[in-house]
Amino acid sequence: MDKTVDIPISEARANITDVIASVRLLRSCVFLLRREKPQAAIVPIELGHLVRQVGGPDAAADLLAKHLAEASS
């Protein structure tokens, strides 16, 4: 089940309390769009903590990419 939502930045700004509640309570990831292109994401706090633990977004992306490559081989 896909728990991601795409929302224009302007809509997220106008409804930030609801967006945060959705991420926190429904455990969804909200992708913020500008001109229909993803610019950033709001993720559950536990995921943010894990990203911080592994050394930031670039390190987390590398780790996930390696994991996905191993899983597909």
pLDDT tens string 9-53: 999 999 999 999 999 999 999 999 999 999 999 999 999 999 999
Backbone angles phi, psi at 15, to 5 degrees: -130, 35
User: Which string of DSSP letters, residue by residue, matches 12-42?
Assistant: HHHTHHHHHHHHHHH--EEEEEETTEEEEEE
* Measured distance between the N- and C-terminal CA atoms of the chain, rounded to whole angstroms: 23
pLDDT at 63: 95
| Distance between CA atoms of residues 73 and 68, nearest Å | 9
pLDDT at 19: 96
Looking only at Cα atoms, what is the longest distance across the chain?
A: 44
